[in-house]
Amino acid sequence: MNAHDASIRQVAIVARSGSTDILEEGKTIQAWLKRRGVLGTLTNTDDPRLRDGINAGEYDLLIALGGDGTMLRAGHLAAPHGLPILGINLGKFGFLMQLSQGDWQRYLPRLLAGEYKIENRMMLKADLWREDVLLGSHQVINEVVVARGQVVRPIRIHTTVDGYPLAGYVADGLIASTPTGSTAYALAVGGPIMPPELRNILIVPVAPHLSMDRAVILPEGASVEISVQSDHGAVMSVDGHEPVLVGNSDRVTVTASDFTVRFVVFQDPGYFYRNLSNYMEQNPSIGDF
Same domain, 105 and 85: yes
pLDDT digits (tens, 9 = 90+) for 140-186: 999 999 999 989 999 999 999 999 999 999 999 999 999 999 999 99
Residue 4: inside a domain, yes or no?
no
Catalytic residue list contains 68? yes
pLDDT in tens, 246-283: 999 899 999 999 999 999 999 776 677 666 766 666 65
Note whether 218 and 142 are same-domain residues: yes
Confidence of residue 138 (pLDDT cuts 50, 70, 90): very high
Regarding whether 251 and 142 lie in a shared domain, the answer is: yes
Question: 189, 188, 176, 172: which is closest to 234 by C-alpha?
Answer: 172
For residue 68, pLDDT over 60 is answered with yes
Query: What's the CATH number where 150 sits?
Result: 2.60.200.30
Which residue range is the domain that position 233 belongs to?
122-258
Looking up residue 95, the CATH number of its domain turns out to be 3.40.50.10330
Taking only the tens place, the pLDDT of each residue in 216-236 is 999 999 999 999 999 999 999
* Overall domain count for the chain: 2
φ and ψ at residue 217, rounded to 5 degrees: -105, 125
Output the pTM of the full model. Answer: 0.91
- Residue 112 counted as domain residue: yes
239/146 Cα distance (integer angstroms): 12
Q: Does residue 151 share a domain with residue 88? A: no
Does residue 104 lie within any of the structural domains?
yes
Q: Indicate left, alpha or beta for 6 from its phi (over 0: left) and psi (-120 to 50: alpha).
A: beta
Based on the fold, state whether residues 211 and 252 are members of the same structural domain. yes
Residue 1 in domain: no
The one-letter amino acid at 129:
W
Q: Is residue 65 part of a domain?
A: yes
**Domain check: are 45 and 90 in the same one?**
yes
Q: What are phi and psi of 189, to 5 degrees?
A: -105, 15
Q: What beta strand segments (E) does 90-232 contain?
A: 99-100, 117-130, 133-140, 143-148, 155-161, 164-171, 173-177, 200-206, 216-219, 224-229
From 60, 68, 132, 172, active-site residue? 68
